[in-house]
Structure 1
Amino acid sequence: MQSLLIIIEKGDEDGIPIKYREKIMALSKKTNKAIAKRWDEAIARREAERKKK
């Protein structure tokens, strides 16, 4: 018979494991900044195209 070991990580109010919270939040912030930058660039391109017409 095999034993099954289950380890329950304590998490914060969002369910993020406390052990990895800082790293996950840093990655999330970096990703959000990159998305916002691409979004702003796309809006600027559309505005430039609209002005040409």
Structure 2
Amino acid sequence: MALASHLEELQRKHGDIEREIDEALTHPSTDELEITALKRRKLALKDEIEKLKTRH
């Protein structure tokens, strides 16, 4: 059961970052480096989610 809750937490974080990116893109003063960093974090979470799904 721990795996399922961990997976849910990663998916929640992934969604949170996606919303942060969307919000950052609506503000013209947002730094491109910040957006790039958020996208990298989102991709890393997606990769981890996929690894856990294929392992289980």
TM-score of the two chains, using structure 2 as the length reference: 0.48
Q: Larger Rg: 1 or 2?
A: 1
Mark the runs of 5 or more structure 1 residues left unpaired by the alignment: 1-23
RMSD, matched Cα: 1.4
Percent same amino acid at aligned positions?
7
Q: Which structure has more helix as a fraction of its residues?
A: 2
1:51 alignment partner, SS class:
coil
Q: Higher relative contact order at CA 8 Å, sep ≥6: structure 1 or structure 2? A: 2
- Matched length: 29
Summarize deviations over 1:1-53 as a string: whole Å, max 9, x none: xxxxxxxxxxxxxxxxxxxxxxx10000000000000000000000000127x
Q: Answer yes or no: is 1:48 the counterpart of 2:25.
A: yes
Report what 2:4 is aligned to: 27
Structure 1 moving runs of 4+ over 2 Å: none
Gaps of 5+ in 2: 30-56
> What is the TM-score with the length of structure 1 in the denominator?
0.51
